[in-house]
Amino acid sequence: MNETSMQSQTLLPTREPRQSSPRSLRSLTLRFILLNLLLLAGILLALAMYGQTPAPTTPHPARTNSPAISALDNYLNRVRTQANVPATPGAIWIDSGRLSRMFTDVRAMRPNDLISVVVSESLASSTDGTVKGSRNSSANSAITALFSKLSAASAAQNLINQSSASALTAQGQSANNSSLSTILGGQVVDVLPNGTLVIEAARQVEFSQQTQTIVLRGLVRPEDISQQNQVLSTAISSMELQVRGRGIVTDYTHRPNALVRLLQRALIF
């Protein structure tokens, strides 16, 4: 039994380890390269579609007559009109898209880019003046002779004897102190040929029946914008800063018109 088993074992062919040929290695390498290229192409296509500006959509009709919804629709229409980007039919690349600025500075450089304005303005003025004036005048008129010499006791000897004196002393003083510290979010509205940015920032706050509106415009050099995409108000040239208020506080702190003052005098209750 042992001899037969040994003979069968010797008769069976032995399997040698299979060696891969150079052709199979080359095909595997090509497949790996093709898969990587397809994966890279898919990633680039996804990034390009992400950087492309979506087509403008029509605003949904208001579901209710709520003032908040109508105000939101007006705001969306205004913002979409300001940030409208020309379409590029037949191409997925946009010069102003996100992919065009992957390796550039993220600070505001182009129109419609957002920017933060750090407002720190303080104004103090005082005026002091003194005015003094005096004036003296005198006038005399008399008739000393009429067809003959008049007597000394005659009333015609002293017809007019007038003298006047006036003096004026006035002093005035005024002082005005105002300060504003806040951070406004704005955007670049235009770029001048020399590279200077034209920015505009606005904020409207409503609280306790009082509306406060702050509008800021000016010229900014790109070098004055910090790495946090902020610019100080002291670095803005030709700055226009408007602070307006409207509401119950403003109505009671400002002087009413002439008609209202007349009614307030007539109506004592």
* Domain ranges (residues) in the chain: 39-52+67-104, 114-123+179-259, 125-175
pLDDT at 11 over 60: no
Q: What is the pLDDT of residues 59-85, one digit of tens each?
A: 444 445 555 567 677 777 776 665 555
Least-confidence region, from 15-19, 110-114, 137-141 = 15-19
pTM of the entire structure?
0.49
pLDDT at 29 over 70: yes
Rg for the chain (alpha carbons), in Å? 45
Q: Compute CA 105 distance to the chain's CA centroid, rounded to the nearest angstrom.
A: 21
Instruction: Record the tokens describing residue 25, joined without a space.
Output: 């290695």
pLDDT at 90: 65
DSSP state at residue 62 = P
- Tell me how far apart the alpha carbons of residues 178 and 173 are, in angstroms, rounded to a whole number: 17
Q: Count H helices, E strands: the chain? A: 5, 6
How far lies 250's CA from each of 209, 261, 265, in Å?
10, 16, 21
